[in-house]
Every structure is written in C-alpha cells, then in structure tokens.
Structure 1
Amino acid sequence: MSSPSVSFVQIRFDDIHFFENCGGGSFGSVYRAKWVSRDKEVAVKKLLKIENEAEILSVLSHRNIIQFYGAIVEAPNYGIVTEYASGGSLYDYLSSEESEEMDIGQIMTWAAEIARGMHYLHSEAPVKVIHRDLKSRNVVLTADKILKICDFGASKFLTHTTHMSLVGTFPWMAPEVIQSLPVSETCDTFSYGVVLWEMLTREIPFHGLEGLQVAWLVVERTVAGL
C-alpha cells in the first residue's frame, strides 16, 4: 500500500510576517510568525525543499498532534506552517526551575497525552505513521499546557515492517534503528520510554557521553537483556 494522494493549503511567502527564531527542527529552523491574511500567530519551519513532512501532516488531525495549516512552496522560500505553541518545548520546560514543582499527577497527565498522540499515529491515522524522532524537544506545550507532538521531518508512512535509513537523535534512538534492522512503530515506543525517563528524572539518559558511545551502550544493554 502506498502513501495516500493528498493536497494541502499553499501559503504565499509574502503572506507570512516573521518574528524571532524559536528553535530548530529536522532539516530547518523554526520561527514564530504571523499569517497576515488570517491574522493568526503561527510557527514556520524554513526548509531547503518540501519533502514528506507536508504530505504526512496534511492527513493528521488529533488534539495531541501539532495542527498543520499549510506549506510555502515558492522556491527558494519553502516552509511548513503550523500552530504556534507558546509554552515552548517539553525539553525547555524540564530544564527550567518551574519543572521542579511538577508532581506525579502532572507527569501522568502529560505521559498520557503523548501516548494518545502516538497511538493515533500508529493506529488511528488514515495511514500508519512512524515519527522516528520522538524526543522532548519535539513535544511542545500550548498556552494551556496541553502537549503536542511536532516536527515530522524524519517521519514516514508505514504499512509494513521495513528497513529505514539511520535517522533520529541519540539517546532516543531505538536499538533496531541504530543497527539498521527492520523497524516498526516499536522504535517510537522506545523513544517514548526515554521521554518518560526525562519527565521522571528531569535528566537525559547517558548524560555526558558522545553519540556513538550512547549507541554502543543502548545496543549492548539490549542484547544483554535478551
């Protein structure tokens, strides 16, 4: 089964007024901006070209998935336009003093919100999607503290277990991805577990180690546990 034939709103580059850079996503920088004709605050990820991300986002609709508005397709000004989450990333929140007041109830609520978003991608979306880069930097907070999964630059439609190129971020990357083995939605499940670790400890596993050191430890500990 192939990916669905989809279309999305094409937004003019001159209809976007850019403000400050608010972070980096897969393959591009993210800016807070205003969609002038709609008088709407948005986030825009500037890209070198439009690939799968717009196609994937265009078929997704869920409370815990970032809302997609359209794409800028005027060369060389390519971009993905989504809702703006003013609370910043979960990573930034967990690094802040405010997170010291986070109790187990808040952790459970947020864990459930991320899980609902991932369940939608894997089981309820029109076509199954593997995110492939789930991490606290790719989960954002709305003004009312609702969590939303964002940045689908590394994501793929998936209708069967398959080999995929090495993509993701250490230490959120699953061992089967590191080893270039066939992968399924379980690679996102591994990444979700790391995000839970972050929320519970307010730390990142393997802190201070380089990427390849982390990769070796993840694979070795997985094999040792079999």
Structure 2
Amino acid sequence: MLDHPRVVHFVGIAWDSLSDLCIVLEYMEGGDLRALLASYEAQGHDVGFDHTKVTIALHVAHALTYLHSLDPPVLHRDLKSKNVLLTSDLQAKITDFGISRERADKTMTAGVGTSLWMAPEVMMGERYDDKADMFSFGVMLSELDLHTLPYSHAKHNLSSSGHKMPAAEALYHLQTVLREL
C-alpha cells in the first residue's frame, strides 16, 4: 500500500454488491488543482510562480519521487491538475491511481493517461518509463504558471480549414512534428 504524506490516503472500500464497489479516500476539502487554477484565471490572479504555486509543485514532486523510488517503481500514468487534490490550506497530494502500475520492465507501451498531459512516447505507443510522469509534471507546471489548460493557446490558432484548431488537431500536429525529429 502507498504511504506518503503527498499521496491521498486510502481509507477503505464500500459496496452495495460485488458489482458496485467504491474506494473511499481521504477527504480533501480544498478540491482539485484544476478548479483552483480556473478560479485564479477568473479572478485575474497574477500568472507566474508565487509561494503557493511553488509549494504545490514541490508537493507533487515529492509524491512522484516517492512513487518512482519504490521497488519496483510505481508509475502514475495520469498525472494532471485534476489528479492533484488540495487541503483547505493548499497542501497538495496526488490521487487517481486507477491506471497506475508497477514498472515491471522497460517495455510498457499501452496508451494510457489523458492526452493533453501525455508524454510523446506514450502518445505514439512507444516504450516509456518514469520519465513519462515527469513530462506530465512539466505540462502541469505550465498550468500552474499560466492557469490555463495545456495547449490552450493552440486552440486560438487557425487550422488549415481557417477555423480554430481543436485540441485533438493540435495534438495530432504535435505528434507529426515529433515523428519528424
């Protein structure tokens, strides 16, 4: 079982029937990081890093260091702002280990995670390791900095059809460029 101050604690399991199982986790009254950043954006909070944002980033880094230092290492595989929960005083913990797994070997290729935060090697179905979590962490750092979803600026660019570029098209273009490198 995972046991770290920056990982949301497992409390137990509840069920009505075997087909209706629920995992009970520690209550995090501050909500998730994505909601905090959306409120920052709506309120015109300064972009850039302040003490609170640096603290949140360090908490997430501590959680990832813990996961990746286990034997075998545990890869989160879906790190994003919605999976960082906050206490009322904005202490951060990571959650949602629904697709995490131990890294048993270096041949993991299953496409997992949420595409906007996904490392290029995962997106392209190639081998990946704990560095894929670090890529997602970097994307999350850009969210902390700017308060916006990843690649949101690309949605304002015009696609070849002259319309705003949807996120899926922006990711497709990113994937194409990466393959050419």
Task: Name 1:67's counterpart in structure 2.
Answer: 9
Offset of 1:221 from its aligned partner? 4.3
Q: Is residue 184 of structure 1 aligned with residue 126 of structure 2?
A: no
Of Structure 1 and Structure 2, the greater helix share is in 2
| Distance across 1 between alignment mates of 2:139 and 2:19 | 36
Helix, strand or coil: the match of 1:116? helix
Out of 2, 17, 20, the residue aligned to residue 77 of structure 1 is 20
Of Structure 1 and Structure 2, the greater strand share is in 1
* Structure number with higher relative contact order (C-alpha < 8 Å, ≥ 6 residues apart): 2
Amino acid at match of 1:78: L
Task: Name 2:168's counterpart in structure 1.
Answer: 212
| Distance across 2 between alignment mates of 1:213 and 1:186 | 25
| Distance across 2 between alignment mates of 1:71 and 1:221 | 45
Offset of 1:214 from its aligned partner? 3.4
Task: Name 1:115's counterpart in structure 2.
Answer: 61
Which ranges in structure 1 are unaligned for 5 or more consecutive residues? 1-58
**Identity rate, percent:** 34
Amino acid at match of 2:51: G
Structure 1 moving runs of 4+ over 6 Å: none
Which ranges in structure 2 are unaligned for 5 or more consecutive residues? 156-164
Out of 76, 79, 83, the residue aligned to residue 131 of structure 1 is 76
TM-score w.r.t. the length of structure 1 is: 0.67
| Residues 175, 215 of structure 1: 8 Å contact kept | no
| Distance across 2 between alignment mates of 1:184 and 1:110 | 24
Task: Name 1:170's counterpart in structure 2.
Answer: 115
TM-score w.r.t. the length of structure 2 is: 0.82
Amino acid at match of 1:122: H
| Distance across 2 between alignment mates of 1:81 and 1:172 | 26
| Distance across 2 between alignment mates of 1:211 and 1:130 | 25
Helix, strand or coil: the match of 1:140? strand
